[in-house]
Amino acid sequence: MSKKIVFCFAFLVVLIFGQKPAQAEDGYRLWQRYDLIQNKDLLKQYRKTLGNVTVQGSSPTLAVVKDELDMALSGLLGSKVTITDNASKKGGLVAGTPATSSLIKDLGLDQKLKEVGQEGFLLLSQKHKGNAYTVIAANSEKGVLYGTFHLLRLLQTQQDIQNLNVSNSPKTKLRILNHWDNLDRTVERGYAGFSIWDWHKLPDYIDQRYIDYARANASVGINGTVLTNVNANSLVLTPEYLKKVKALADVFRPYGIKVYLTARFSSPIEIGKLKTADPLNPEVKAWWKNKVNEIYTYVPDFGGFTVKANSEGQPGPQNYNRSHADGANLLAEALAPKGGVVMWRAFVYDNNVPDDRHKQAYTEFKPLDGTFQGNVIVQVKNGAIDFQPREPFHPLFGAMPKTPLMMEFQITQEYLGQGTHLAYLAPMFKETLESDTYAKGQGSTVAKVVDGSLDNHAISGMAGVANIGNDINWTSHPFGQANWYAFGRLAWDHALTAEDIADEWIKMTFSGSPSLVTPIRNMMMASRETVVNYMTPMGLHHLMGWDHHYGPAPWIKDKPRADWTSVYYHRADEKGIGFDRTKTGSNALSQYAPEVQAQWENPATCPEDVLLWFHHVAWDAKTKSGRTLWDELCYRYSGGVDSVRTMQKTWNALAGQVDKERHQQVKQYLAIQEKDARWWRDACLLYFQTFSKRPIPQGLEQPQGTLEEYMKIDPKFAPGI
């Protein structure tokens, strides 16, 4: 049979039976899979309740609302949806603001709308003149967009929508992805391919991926994107690149997303041809003012700058004997007339390593409290070292009441297995946000510092270091998508639980079947603790491979900086292991509130999850399990490996309930994770055993190689460097 006849036959089959070729489940659609709802009762309810669809008003953002509703409802409800500009007298779905919608204006929602602010929304089941309406109402078109995505989430997760009474607004104002993307399309600590920004083709070619990126971010309430690496390149501030930045900003604007850039502090020298970048120099001030004005001619709603200065070799104000406040205020003064902000990162440590690295951000920034201008927000990592699998909350949270502090989480899994390990990070995010700083007594949580409510700050924010690349599924590991999703949801509302966020994501990404949701949720909720156990249990940290940070290397020493080594942090010797940060050691604990100090300074009351972070503990010290510290470490490392194997069994049992393509990909990644977990366990225990001089307990799986063999492993061309 000729190829032409086969093709014609296939075409006739599709034409006659209305069937479409199966769509490959490559993960590109993320959590925005608008497939036909299978629950017939709910499908009937949705069709009846939503009925006629009306979006009143005309603007780029409302056009986005119309397009999303058209695509989503046509898919979810199984039939083409017609969207009109005039509310039907038969009821149905109506979306708009009081300024654009006569119906919403007539409903008298002024007080309720006042309570949700500029980005919030109302989602109501409302009667008007005898007709039943589902109403998406907001003060701004952005709010209408967020309300639309909330409604679609309810449909995708198969919720009852007959009696809606939702009043929703974000808890933080700046909800931002930080892309550590370089202009050559490499991504620092990126594990999902190259940068999605194709700078060479911009501004003339707009990839559909940019639009879908904006849709995904808007769907979880993310309202800003920092396009470039914090290890900044001044070229992005030149006209050649500002044209390209403008093209992206124009794509993102209808989705409520502002563009931000990283500012290299030495730019006045590198592209301005000045002899200095001293923040108090009049010529430098004038240069930044002119540069900011120039940026706003390209991007009138430009958000501002993220700055990494005087850290890891980056230039900054300390080069001129000025403070971080001097540097931040230089940029803030230039941005203030335009409404822009400066996000000044507190990830700093002195090149001479004069003290415990845990203490250095606090030491530099605490004295500056109250000296930053009003449009500066200090961006602080969740912990004081560097995105380790587990860190106690950063001591700066609660310590700078006169300065708004912005949370920085790392979504990309630099220290958590990178692009091949399943590690759901919402429990880690929640662990930090729910930590009590005791800054103003009990209940002064990190979340209240970050959202500004503890100290009544007008500006607040949360940043996430993105895990996005040009891989077809965006994040390499399919479950990496859940961390992007979870970050956005928690930045919008940090009161949400990690379990509920996981449920949402699973139902929207895979299926709402309880036989699938429950086991996957259990996998996800246990996964971060699993990674901690086979990498850095009981407060150990910074044990990873040199430079690439992949795999174990607790033996790293003799590098250009002591705090770039592993031995600096674990301090293992024949007596014990752990970093003494009490009064007898570095006294980093003194940077926390007295209530926190009282709990953590005593090994008996210090949570075992961070015990070795704050204490050097004897190998034979008793732990809460009744085992010695050495035995407990052995059991935790082994337990981490066993937990990965449990995940493998769970996932294998879901074959047939998950599409073959994604099931096979996750299965292979779990095999890599199990192999890596054994590598971590064996290498770390064999190395620490050289100090403990104690056997690995009988009954536990013994190492498969020798310490010498593990120390020779050196991955070549690891991604993300």
| Catalytic site positions | 312, 386, 414
Hey, what amino acid is at 288?
Answer: W
Q: What is the dihedral of CA 420, 184, 209, 460, to 10 degrees?
A: 80
The SS3 assignment for 487 reads helix
What does the radius of gyration of the chain's CA atoms come to, in whole angstroms? 27
Q: Is the peptide bond before 203 cis (omega within 30 degrees of 0)?
A: yes
Q: Are 555 and 533 in contact (CB under 8 A)?
A: no
State residue 396 phi and psi, 5-degree precision: -70, -25
Angle between helices 60-77 and 141-156 in degrees, nearest 10? 10
Closest CA to 461 of 169, 226, 256, 172: 172
Q: Are 195 and 187 in contact (CB under 8 A)?
A: yes
**Rounded to an integer, what distance in angstroms lies between the CA atom of residue 211 and that of residue 45?**
31
Q: Which residue has the tokens 């190492």?
A: 703
State residue 231 phi and psi, 5-degree precision: -80, 85
Hey, what amino acid is at 276?
Answer: T
Closest CA to 543 of 531, 560, 526, 529: 531
498 sits in which H/E element: helix 498-509
State residue 639 phi and psi, 5-degree precision: -65, -35
**Rounded to an integer, what distance in angstroms lies between the CA atom of residue 452 and that of residue 369?**
15
Q: Which residue has the tokens 């069709």?
A: 47
Which residues partner with 187 through β-bridges? Answer: 181
Tokens of 219: 């769907």
**Which ranges of 172-280 does DSSP label H, i.e. alpha helix?**
208-219, 239-252, 267-270
DSSP string for residues in 553-607: -TT----SSGGGSSHHHH---SSEES---STTTT-GGGGS-HHHHHHHSSTTTS-
**Rounded to an integer, what distance in angstroms lies between the CA atom of residue 524 and that of residue 520?**
6
List of residues 6+ apart from 506 with CB closer than 8 A: 516, 517, 520, 521, 524
Closest CA to 134 of 119, 150, 118: 150
